[in-house]
Amino acid sequence: MLAIPGAPDILNRALTALLETMAPSACALYKLSYEQAASDRQPILTPQHSATVFEFPSPSLGLSFDDTTLDAVRDAWKLVMKDDALDDAYMAFEDREGMGDDDDLFD
């Protein structure tokens, strides 16, 4: 969902109400918020001295992961790897030490 005017105030009121149900003197020790906006930004390559800066496109605002996000990641990977960027090496990870095929991380 896109941000609406007054969203920070609505969130602050909701947090205050929640804390008051816990204890009348409760307060938040730390708060962090951000607003995410949709844009048509495309991947950008910018040469800077001996380096190249890669700016990722704006992500999808949907709640599910958009697989096309990995297209820009692959482009950045190819930029870094240059001639060593083999298609079968992209997103190929070695098994962790001590982990077998039948080991389950979430027992």
pLDDT at residue 2 is higher than 60: no
Residue 100 lies in a domain: no
Q: Do 17 and 62 reside in the same domain of the chain? A: no
CB 11 within 8 A of CB 4: no
Our CA angle for 30, 64, 71, nearest 5°, is 105
Q: What distances in angstroms separate CA 6 from CA 27, 50, 80, one per listed residue?
A: 21, 44, 42
Q: Where is pLDDT greater, at 58 or 104?
A: 58
Q: What's the domain count of the chain?
A: 2
How high is the pLDDT of residue 102?
A: 60
Closest by alpha carbon to 78, among 92, 70, 90?
90
Residue 102 lies in a domain: no
How high is the pLDDT of residue 18?
A: 92
Q: Do 44 and 65 reside in the same domain of the chain? A: yes
Q: Do 45 and 28 reside in the same domain of the chain? A: no
Residue 48 lies in a domain: yes
Give the position of tokens 């240059």.
82
Q: Do 7 and 53 reside in the same domain of the chain? A: no
Q: Do 23 and 1 reside in the same domain of the chain? A: yes
Q: Do 29 and 75 reside in the same domain of the chain? A: no
**pLDDT tens digits along 43-75:** 777 887 777 777 788 777 778 888 888 888 888
Q: Do 29 and 47 reside in the same domain of the chain? A: no
How high is the pLDDT of residue 1?
A: 46
How high is the pLDDT of residue 100?
A: 62
**pLDDT tens digits along 23-45:** 888 888 877 776 666 777 777 77
What is the domain extent for residue 31?
1-35
